[in-house]
């Protein structure tokens, strides 16, 4: 007996018994296209009764044209396969035969009533991937039942063909420039062109549903022993099976993912659209489906696959404002679990078995759906600002000169994120894609609230914020730098004091002495004391920096000059005394009341150079003939080469400083070593 199958304009005649040579089974099609060969199982119906699974061989071992995927189909899509169809196949690689495998058929054909898929469609088992094979043996039994087999029962053998050369997987969507809010990033998929979909098989335009309320998770059953390098071939086989064997318009699933976590575009129409599929009987409308290649009855999918399913669910459900953790009610168009018009309360992420009498997606994967819902519905986690270039933090406030670049990080995988929004004072100023973790922000002067909002693919968000003070003004020196002379040793150095006053609207961060030495003076210091070399022009530099980073530098240039006592104009009695302890080796001593020394110079500050002893008396000081104080030179211990008494002026001018011996009772004498002034 034989059956004639029309395909691609060629009639292939196949015998039911005996061996058929490859030449008789070869279809004249382009090498890249999938091929279908069928073997009629209808004659088995005549003897179908109380046989056992190990019963008669319906198809004796035979050589066939090469195929990699197979299934059983029958004429009436509403009929169930009540018997058991088992197959074993011969490997092209080494000629070995596989063990017997059941072809699973859980529910009627899931094509949506009224859709293009429902026109002339057939009932079918799940497709079984067996890898490149060139031989088959089959048997059918009733497993103790006597119900007749469905009419038109046959084996469909699919060769997926070769995929055309395609570029590497890419992300859907276009790179947009200058947009306020970037589009939601679609998952990165292997496109139909890349996995080699045969578009010639797809005769009708895609059909669309209004929205996506539920994601149905499936498995394709069959084997988990495939190589991920074969995933594209498996999917080409499934497409050919769904079109040629089931008589659908295209592959039934919207997405497929292999055990390595590679995501594939399924049914044509655009993954950004609500494409009507043929995957879940009675509930193809308002839903989308993802099928995992393999059987997950006893083992769950690995984490990388869970993450991909969660990403697809978040993307498809989130596009319509639906949380993957929620539930919804759908109206059945008719399934073996829900009659036409009945309501089904479903999780947003549901398994195929939730709407039909099927084991799909396998017990182990079904038990993972709760985890998938948690992954797909979670808000961004661990969101935080890591740094803010162009700003310095002081307390709880960041200070900037107006241009900042906040950086952030989030613990949620980038594939689960949509975008980041940057607000300044609750006004959206930038929105960047999930791949970007920083943004340049320009602030006007003043205090601002800068907030970054992380928006997940599912629409949930998390925010971090910071107070930023934008300050474009430089610190202001309200006085100084002022250089004065101070008391201290004149031994090879002149003691000086530097003073200033500085302020800033946002506050000072630091004050640095840049010369004559480098020193960090802090933000609150108003004076510095030190010593400089005599007769050397010295620059006294300051740099004030505010909390925003603005800086202003100022400087004063001074030269300390020593005037010896011998250069002074004298009145009264003075005696020169010599000792290495005195400046220049000499000093002037007087015990005569009213004796005086005076120096005339041009400068900004002056100090007396004296020796102090236990028997030293007091002197009266005059500046430009005006009394300027009385200085007591008494000291318990002898101190030579000392700067004592000082006076400073805001401008440089000619001045005269005069000392007059007071003639203190009991200690009338004084020793003058000269005068030091700042020029």
pLDDT per position as a tens digit, 122-166: 999 999 999 999 999 998 876 555 467 788 899 999 999 887 665
CA dist 59 and 37 (Å) reads 14
Residue 377: how many other CB atoms lie within 10 Å: 23
Residue 196: how many other CB atoms lie within 10 Å: 22
Instruction: Please state whether beta strands 446-456 and 461-470 pair in parallel, antiparallel, or not at all (unpaired).
Output: antiparallel
Q: Is 243 helix (H, G, I), strand (E, B) or coil?
A: helix
Confidence band for 344, pLDDT divided at 50, 70 and 90? very high
Average pLDDT, the chain: 89
Q: For 16, which DSSP code?
A: S
CA dist 332 and 346 (Å) reads 11
**pLDDT(106) > 90:** no
Q: What is the mean pLDDT of the segment spanning 413-423? A: 95
- How crowded is the C-beta side of 26, counted as CA atoms within 13 Å? 6
Question: Six-digit token pair at 69?
Answer: 């995927």
Locate all alpha helices (DSSP H) within 31-101, ordered by sequence.
none
CA dist 593 and 509 (Å) reads 55
Q: What is the mean pLDDT of the segment spanning 394-413? A: 95
613: Cβ–Cβ under 8 A, 6 or more apart, which residues? 633, 634, 635, 638, 639, 671
Instruction: Please state whether beta strands 84-91 and 128-141 pair in parallel, antiparallel, or not at all (unpaired).
Output: antiparallel
- Does residue 55 or residue 230 have the better pLDDT? 230
CA 212 from centre of chain: 28
Confidence band for 31, pLDDT divided at 50, 70 and 90? very low
Confidence band for 111, pLDDT divided at 50, 70 and 90? confident
Q: What is the mean pLDDT of the segment spanning 229-244? A: 96
- Tokens 């139909």 appear where? 192
CB neighbour burial string for 502-525, b if at least 16 within 10 angstroms, e if fewer: bebebbbbbbbbeebeeeebebeb
pLDDT digits (tens, 9 = 90+) for 502-524: 999 888 999 999 999 999 999 99
pLDDT at 83: 79
Confidence band for 78, pLDDT divided at 50, 70 and 90? confident
Residue 27 burial (10 A CB sphere; 0-12, 13-18, 19+): middle
Q: What is the mean pLDDT of the segment spanning 248-269? A: 97
Confidence band for 414, pLDDT divided at 50, 70 and 90? very high
């Amino acid at each position: 007996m034989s059956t004639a199958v029309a395909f691609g304009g060629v009639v292939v005649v196949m015998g039911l018994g005996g061996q058929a040579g490859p030449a008789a089974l070869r279809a004249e099609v382009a090498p890249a296209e999938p091929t279908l060969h069928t073997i009629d199982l209808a004659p088995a119906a005549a003897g179908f009764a109380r046989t056992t699974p190990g019963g008669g061989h319906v198809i004796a071992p035979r050589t066939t044209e090469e195929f990699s995927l197979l299934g059983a189909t029958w004429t009436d899509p509403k009929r169930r396969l009540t018997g058991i169809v088992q197959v074993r196949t011969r490997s092209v690689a080494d000629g070995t035969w596989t063990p017997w495998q059941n072809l699973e058929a859980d529910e009627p054909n899931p094509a949506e009533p009224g859709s293009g898929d429902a026109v002339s469609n057939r009932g079918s088992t799940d497709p079984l991937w067996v890898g490149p094979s060139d031989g088959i043996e089959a048997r059918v039994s009733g497993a103790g039942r006597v119900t007749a087999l469905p009419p038109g029962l046959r084996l469909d053998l699919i060769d997926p063909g070769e995929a055309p050369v395609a570029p590497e997987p890419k992300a859907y969507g276009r790179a947009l420039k200058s947009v306020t809010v970037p589009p939601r990033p679609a998952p990165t998929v292997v496109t139909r062109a890349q996995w080699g979909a045969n578009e010639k098989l797809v005769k009708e335009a895609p059909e669309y549903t209004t929205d996506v309320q539920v994601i149905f998770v499936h498995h394709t059953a069959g084997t988990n022993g495939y190589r991920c390098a074969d995933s594209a071939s498996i999917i080409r086989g499934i497409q050919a099976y769904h079109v040629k064997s089931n008589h659908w318009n295209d592959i039934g699933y919207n997405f497929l993912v292999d055990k390595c976590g590679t995501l594939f575009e399924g049914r044509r129409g655009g993954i950004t659209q609500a494409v009507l599929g043929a995957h879940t009987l009675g509930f193809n409308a308002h839903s989308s489906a993802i099928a995992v290649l393999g059987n997950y009855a006893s083992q769950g999918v690995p984490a990388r696959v869970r993450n991909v399913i969660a990403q697809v669910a978040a993307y498809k459900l989130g596009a319509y404002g639906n949380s993957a953790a929620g539930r919804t009610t759908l109206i059945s168009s008719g399934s073996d679990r829900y009659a036409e018009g009945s309501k089904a309360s479903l999780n947003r992420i549901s398994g195929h078995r939730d709407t039909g009498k099927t084991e799909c997606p396998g017990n182990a994967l079904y038990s993972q759906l709760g985890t998938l819902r948690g992954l797909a519905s979670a808000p961004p986690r661990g969101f935080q600002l890591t740094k803010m270039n162009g700003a310095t933090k002081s307390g709880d406030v960041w200070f900037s000169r107006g241009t900042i670049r906040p950086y952030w990080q989030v613990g949620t995988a980038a594939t689960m994120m949509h975008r980041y929004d940057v607000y300044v004072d609750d006004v959206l100023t930038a929105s960047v894609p999930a791949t970007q973790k920083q943004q340049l922000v320009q602030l006007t002067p003043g205090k601002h609230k800068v907030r970054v909002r992380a928006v997940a693919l599912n629409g949930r968000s998390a925010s971090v914020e910071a107070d930023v003070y934008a300050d474009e003004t430089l610190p202001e020196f309200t006085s100084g730098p002022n250089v004065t002379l101070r008391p201290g040793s004149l031994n090879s150095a002149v003691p000086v004091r530097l003073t200033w006053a500085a302020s800033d609207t946002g506050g000072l961060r630091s004050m640095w002495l840049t010369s004559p030495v480098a020193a960090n003076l802090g933000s609150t210091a108003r004076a510095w004391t030190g010593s400089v070399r005599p007769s050397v022009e010295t620059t006294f530099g300051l740099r004030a920096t505010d909390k925003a980073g603005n800086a202003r530098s100022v400087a004063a240039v001074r030269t300390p000059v020593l005037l010896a006592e011998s250069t002074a104009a004298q009145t009264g009695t003075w005696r020169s005394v010599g000792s290495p302890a005195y400046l220049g080796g000499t000093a002037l001593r007087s015990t005569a009341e009213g004796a005086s020394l005076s120096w005339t110079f041009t400068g900004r500050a002056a100090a007396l150079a004296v020796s102090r002893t236990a028997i030293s008396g007091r002197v009266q000081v005059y500046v430009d003939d005006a009394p300027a104080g009385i200085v007591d030179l008494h000291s318990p211990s002898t101190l030579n080469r000392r700067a004592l008494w000082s006076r400073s002026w805001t401008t440089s001018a000619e001045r005269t400083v005069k000392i007059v011996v007071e003639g203190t009772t009991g200690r009338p004498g004084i020793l003058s070593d000269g005068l030091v002034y700042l020029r």
